[in-house]
Amino acid sequence: MVEDITQDGDEVKKPHKRGWYLIVLSVLLIVAIGALAVVYRDEISNTQQYDKYGYIVAFVVSFMAGATVIVYVPGMPVVFALGGIVHYPFLVGIAAGLGEALGEFTGYLIGRGGESYLNRPHSGRLQKIYSRIDGWMGKRGYLTVFLASAVPNPFFDFFGASAGATRMTPWKFYLACAAGKIVKGTYIAYLGYLGMGFILERLGYHLQP
């Protein structure tokens, strides 16, 4: 019994510590991107490539964030930072949403292949979450995908797998997912637009318009 309790405690502490590590990493990444933008802005501000590269980075990083499950890819911190340094944050949100939705096909294809996470044996709280997702997808699949995409959602892979398992039309899945991801990407980019300057000013940097 003591051993079980110790193991359970370790399992609780590890995710908690990992969460703090990811938060610190995300903040450092935001500051680093902003600092680089300050340092090199004068060299590239006279060209039209600056914003274009920002949108490309938003698309690629968000695609990687949506396509990976185990490895942490800081999609939201990058979108936040880019929203604060490019001229059109809403385009950052669109690029990020389109890229992340495309990456989410990894989960969709797992479910489509008959290996949905929802069909695997689980216990406790996760099993309840999977059961709820399965129920929501069965009733209002497209609305569920949209709403699940429109917020920061660590469980979205399960929504994608469920969509694939229920044979949701791929292009309809993409449209519903992209619509939600664009909403999420846009408000995160605008949060960066409003907050990036404040963060850097506290650290002694100043973004020039």
* Number of domains the chain contains: 1
Structural domain includes residue 209 = no
Q: Is the dihedral of CA 147, 149, 151, 157 positive or negative?
A: positive
Q: Kindly report the CA angle at 20 between 83 and 184, in degrees rounded to 5?
A: 30
**By mean pLDDT, which of 34-48, 138-152, 177-191 is the weakest?**
34-48
Structural domain includes residue 207 = no
pLDDT of residue 6: 40
Listing DSSP states for 24-91 in one string gives: HHHHHHHHHHHHHHHHHHHHHTTSSHHHHHHHHHHHHHHHHHHH-SSS---HHHHHHHHHTTSS-HHH
Structural domain includes residue 208 = no
pLDDT of residue 51: 79
Tens-digit pLDDT profile for residues 42-101: 555 545 566 788 898 899 999 988 988 666 677 888 899 888 888 899 999 999 999 999
Interatomic CA distance for residues 198 and 209, integer angstroms: 14
pTM confidence score: 0.78
Specify the amino acid at residue 70.
I
44-74 in b/e burial notation, b at 16+ Cβ within 10 A?
eeeeeebbeebbebbbebbbbbbbeeeeebb
Interatomic CA distance for residues 127 and 96, integer angstroms: 31
User: What is the enclosing helix (H) or strand (E) of 14?
Assistant: helix 2-44
**By mean pLDDT, which of 16-20, 63-67, 198-202 is the weakest?**
16-20
Q: Which domain holds residue 42?
A: 2-202
Structural domain includes residue 26 = yes
